[in-house]
Amino acid sequence: MRILIAALTATVAFGSAALASDKCTVPTNDWQPREALKTKLEGEGWKVRSIKTEEGCYEAYAIDGKGKKVEAYFNPKTFEAVNAKSSD
């Protein structure tokens, strides 16, 4: 049972990154700074824990304006959300 849960978790995690990377094909010299994304998200009521680079996207770990934990992927040039998952 534990193996099945671990395999399912890995599939979801890698699947999310794959979906995000399909939409994050921006050359690095066109990227906006992470701090600008953090400022944008905080302006929308998010509490940003961290932002890192994953598969050509920015990946933000945060609490959204509704109080839910969020792992979201953003295009580093436009800050368009390309994939997200949340939990309570």
Chain center to CA of 41: 12
Chain center to CA of 32: 15
Q: Tell me, what's the pLDDT at 4?
A: 37
pLDDT, tens only, 50-60:
999 999 999 99
Owning domain of residue 41? 2-87
Angstrom distance (rounded) from CA 2 to CA 6 = 6
pTM: 0.72
Placement of tokens 């990227």 in the chain: 31
The CATH number assigned to the domain holding 74 equals: 3.10.450
Residue 60 in tokens:
């933000």
Number of folded domains that form the chain? 1
pLDDT, tens only, 24-72:
999 999 999 999 999 999 999 999 999 999 999 999 999 999 999 999 9
Q: What are the helix (H) ranges across the chain? A: 2-21, 34-43
Angstrom distance (rounded) from CA 26 to CA 85 = 22
